Amino acid sequence: MKNKIFRGIPASPSIAIGKSFLYSTKEIAFSSRREKKEVKEEMTNFEKARLLASKQLRSLRVELKKASDPVSSRLIDVQLLFLEDPLLLNSVEKRIKVQRESAEEAIVNFAESLEEDFRDIPNSYIAERYLDVKDVVDRLLKNLQDEETDTELGSFGEIMVAESFNASTVLQMSKAGVVGLIAEKGGRTSHFVILAEALDISAVVGANGVTDNIETGDEVIVDGISGVIVVNPDEDTKRRFERKKEETAAIQKKFLEKKDLPATTIDGYSIDISANIELPVELPFIKKYGAKGVGLLRTEFLFLTSKAIPNEKAQYDFYLKVAEHAFPDYVIIRTLDLGGDKVFKTKVQEENPFLGWRGIRFTLANEKIFKDQLRAILRASAKGNVRILIPMVSQVEEILKVKDIIGKIKTELKKEGVAFDENIEIGAMVEVPSVPLMADLFSGVVDFFSIGTNDLTQYTLAVDRGNKKISGLFDQLDPSVISLMKMTVQKAHHNNKWVGVCGDIAADVIALPVLIGMELDELSLPPSFIPQIKNVIRGLSLKECKDLLKDVEKKASAKEVREFLKEEMLKRFPSLKNILVEVEND
Amino acid sequence: MFKREAEIINSLGIHARPASMIVKIASSFGSHVELEKDGVRVNAKSIMGVLMLATEQGEKLTIIAEGKDEKEAVEALLELIEKRKFDEE
């Protein structure tokens, strides 16, 4: 069938067209089993696969260290130990020599028995380590197969399709020349997605059903801009996407050339455009894409990927590194924004986790974790370019408690003679509608606000966008959300406080007139979107944005807002057509 | 044979990183080294074995070594677990 279309989350702003390769470990293990050979030969094959795996992992570790990703490289340490594990060596040897299994069968069977053992482990954090083991097992199987078929982790111009990828394989695939990734799972902030973006690989993720509908060798189009996947396109569709690919690449190149020009409108209104980042590997993006500092540094990654709750020193090292990269511009560090279940890896059962124990509610109840983080942030602020952002705020009292803790830490640091920024700014995330409603009161206790439009939309409309039955109701351009944002800006400015936006809406080109029109002070967005957003801002005027916002405020639904803005923006910027127009349904 | 009991003090117990530290240290000795918890014994030179013990904070392990450098092996692991607390603090 020609032109099968799938939709997912656009995850890397480029387009790739190529032959697909179904990167599924199931298939390797069972459908293309090698022929069994003599015992001696099977043992040699296993040894070869094992040594090759060890070599691959070592060179990967070097790469990761270069990319300053200490967390992933520690993970590789564990995998290397697994390759030397007497349990593995003895069991495989016994299976090959006594039970006369092939090297491949021996590995698969060993992994299966191990999986059972791990499943029985009551500590879910350790039970999950089976995934690391599985990664090594897959690598061994792949190496065994490569002996005969000579395939690598993808080859030049290929598009890899899988349920999900891990960061280490993405690095290898990029080296092999892979140009696109399609995954059933994952989101814009998944570790492997961020790496794909960093390595200029087009990606669409969260695309349900793709692995059942794409076969190795199919021709596929991956449109990381609109999130569309086309399987076996006809000539016409292919030509259309080839044109779109060339044109967007040309436009992006043009945008990139002007990345360092300020984001100032025709009539002189300036707005700061900064970057949302989380991983060390993203640090070079600040300069590469012309960001004015970091408007949102998420810290969850530090906590979720390290093997223990990171101590103050580990956090300080990371925060300081980010602050140095951003200098002389600011980095806004958001304190831990997780639910209790994610931190302790034990099931904290909640009826309504989104209305539950998360963000500031969690950190205030775990003062040791919170204090370590705040101390690390304060120490990293010595040069004066660090700010603190508190997530999931709903009450003024929460900010007062935070300030109390920060005050105590400052006294401690002074006593210890450690340098920090005495006037460090403290801001509240605007996610819960109580904050805009009470923004006058909040202005009395914070230095700034940062609007997280994803959560603000979720809590305003009472829509869980992960719930497929109602996700159609979720739109950050909903008139109610726009109204709450505007309310925040007006009240904050009245009290001489500044307001930024760090949600997805900041990367949405057609939302710009709304954001500029309400006179926001800062937009923080995924780095690769920055050159384009800045370029468009330079073509707008504050006056026309204010007029457009007035028109938007008369609309009754997100759909009307979108259609209106799209039309107006296309009138002004015809070249946006490529970015805004999706594939027509054939 | 030489054995000693050790209490796990670090907050997350023996997860991946501490487990790999144990394996690396145990492997640097010639003696056969084992860990025992609640009657389950594993090879301390096996990352899988050490992980599968799933030792949590507050639990106790017995370190058992047999061979020429058995005493040194047990003491090195004791130091890692109780003194250095896996370098987590």
Q: For A432-442, b where at least 16 C-beta lie within 10 A, e where not — what string?
A: bbbbbeebeeb
- pLDDT at position A307 is 57
- Are both A22 and A165 inside the same structural domain? yes
Number of domains, chain B: 1
Q: Does the pLDDT value for residue A26 go beyond 70?
A: no
- Are both A199 and A305 inside the same structural domain? no
pLDDT confidence bin for A149, thresholds 50/70/90 = very low
Residues 6+ apart with CB under 8 A from A393: A359, A360, A399, A428, A429, A431, A432, A435, A442
- Are both A309 and A380 inside the same structural domain? yes
Domain assignment of residue A261, yes or no: no
Which residues does chain B have within 8 Å of residue A132's beta carbon, measured at their own beta carbons? Answer: 16
pLDDT tens-digit series, residues A184-223: 887 776 778 877 887 789 999 988 888 888 988 899 999 9
- pLDDT at position B16 is 81
Q: Does B41 touch chain A (CB under 8 A)?
A: no
- Are both A386 and A511 inside the same structural domain? yes
Phi-psi label, residue B38: left if phi above 0, alpha if psi -120 to 50, beta otherwise = left
Q: Mean pLDDT over residues A347-375, rounded?
A: 87
Q: Does A307 touch chain B (CB under 8 A)?
A: yes
Q: Which two tokens stand for residue A13?
A: 């702003």
Q: How far apart are CA A350 and CA A344, in angstroms?
A: 14
Range of B37's domain? 2-87
Mutate to test the interface with A, among B48, B55, B85 (most CBs of A within 10 A): B48
Mutate to test the interface with A, among B42, B46, B59 (most CBs of A within 10 A): B46
CATH number, domain with residue B80? 3.30.1340.10
pLDDT tens-digit series, residues A419-466: 999 999 999 999 999 999 999 999 999 999 999 998 999 999 998 876
Which residues does chain B have within 8 Å of residue A92's beta carbon, measured at their own beta carbons? Answer: none
CATH number, domain with residue A116? 3.50.30.10
Q: Which of A548, A575, A489, A584 is nearest to A246 (CA)?
A: A575
Q: Does A123 contact B51 at a Cβ distance shorter than 8 Å? A: no
Q: Does B38 touch chain A (CB under 8 A)?
A: no
For the question of residue A191 being annotated catalytic, the response is yes
Q: Does the pLDDT value for residue A471 go beyond 90?
A: no
The residues that bridge with B36 in the sheet, in sequence order, are: B41, B62
A130: nearest CA partner in chain B = B48
Q: Does B43 touch chain A (CB under 8 A)?
A: yes
- pLDDT at position A31 is 33
Q: Does the pLDDT value for residue A502 go beyond 80?
A: yes
- Are both A361 and A463 inside the same structural domain? yes
CATH number, domain with residue A280? 3.20.20.60
- Are both A187 and A115 inside the same structural domain? yes
Long-range contacts of A155-159 (CB under 8 A, 24+ apart): A155/A21, A157/A18, A157/A19, A158/A18, A158/A19, A158/A20, A158/A21, A159/A16, A159/A18, A159/A19, A159/A20, A159/A21, A159/A220, A159/A222
A313: nearest CA partner in chain B = B89
Share of chain A above pLDDT 90, in %: 49
- pLDDT at position A24 is 58
CB-CB: which of A78, A85, A308 is closest to B12? A308
For the sheet containing B40-43, what is the strand order?
B2-7, B60-66, B32-37, B40-43
Q: Does B46 contact A114 at a Cβ distance shorter than 8 Å? A: no
Q: Does A308 contact B15 at a Cβ distance shorter than 8 Å? A: yes
- Are both A367 and A514 inside the same structural domain? yes
pLDDT tens-digit series, residues A472-481: 888 999 999 9
Which residues does chain B have within 8 Å of residue A121's beta carbon, measured at their own beta carbons? Answer: 52, 54
Residue with the larger pLDDT of the pair A232 and A21: A232
Which residues does chain A have within 8 Å of residue B13's beta carbon, measured at their own beta carbons? Answer: 123, 126
Q: Does A311 touch chain B (CB under 8 A)?
A: yes
CA A250 vs CA A21, A33, A243, A253: distances in Å: 28, 45, 11, 5
Mean pLDDT for chain A overall: 86
- Are both A54 and A173 inside the same structural domain? yes
Q: Mean pLDDT over residues A502-509, rounded?
A: 88
Q: Does the pLDDT value for residue A65 go beyond 90?
A: no
B20: nearest CA partner in chain A = A78
Q: How far apart are CA A506 and CA A524, in angstroms?
A: 7
Domain assignment of residue A244, yes or no: no
| 3-state SS assignment for residue A296 | strand
pLDDT tens-digit series, residues A72-129: 677 788 888 999 898 899 999 999 988 888 888 899 889 888 888 887 777 766 777 7
- pLDDT at position A36 is 61
Q: Does B48 contact A88 at a Cβ distance shorter than 8 Å? A: yes
Q: Among A310-314, A480-484, B51-55, name the most confident range.
A: A480-484
Whether the Cβ atoms of residue A164 and residue A185 lie closer than 8 Å to each other: yes
Q: Does A131 touch chain B (CB under 8 A)?
A: no
Which residues does chain A have within 8 Å of residue B18's beta carbon, measured at their own beta carbons? Answer: 307
pLDDT tens-digit series, residues A337-348: 987 555 565 556
Distance from CA of B1 to the nearest CA of A (A): 21
Peptide bond into A86 cis (omega under 30): no
Q: Mean pLDDT over residues A236-257, rounded?
A: 87
Which residues does chain B have within 8 Å of residue A126's beta carbon, measured at their own beta carbons? Answer: 13-16, 51-52, 54
Number of domains, chain A: 2
Q: Does B17 contact A308 at a Cβ distance shorter than 8 Å? A: yes
CB pairs under 8 A between A and B: 69
Range of A214's domain? 4-236
Q: Does A124 touch chain B (CB under 8 A)?
A: no
Residue A131's CB is within 10 A of a number of other CB atoms, namely 11
| 3-state SS assignment for residue B17 | helix
Domain assignment of residue A258, yes or no: no
- Are both A303 and A193 inside the same structural domain? no
B57: nearest CA partner in chain A = A123
pLDDT confidence bin for A303, thresholds 50/70/90 = confident
CA B13 vs CA A70, A80, A336, A498, B20: distances in Å: 21, 21, 22, 44, 13
Mutate to test the interface with A, among B15, B24, B34 (most CBs of A within 10 A): B15
- The C-alpha angle A426, A432, A437, rounded to 5 degrees, equals 85
Q: Does the pLDDT value for residue A579 go beyond 70?
A: no
Q: Which of B22, B60, B70, B67 is nearest to B43 (CA)?
A: B22
Q: How far apart are CA A293 and CA A279, in angstroms?
A: 15
Question: Is A54 buried (19+), middle (13-18) or exposed (0-12) by CB count in 10 A?
Answer: middle
Domain assignment of residue A245, yes or no: no
Share of chain A above pLDDT 70, in %: 89
B19: nearest CA partner in chain A = A78
Q: Does the pLDDT value for residue A387 go beyond 80?
A: yes
A122: nearest CA partner in chain B = B54
- pLDDT at position A168 is 65
pLDDT confidence bin for A18, thresholds 50/70/90 = very high
Q: Does the pLDDT value for residue A396 go beyond 60?
A: yes
- pLDDT at position A28 is 40
Domain assignment of residue A443, yes or no: yes
CA A476 centroid distance within chain? 19
CB-CB: which of B20, B88, B89 is closest to A81? B20
- Are both A500 and A398 inside the same structural domain? yes
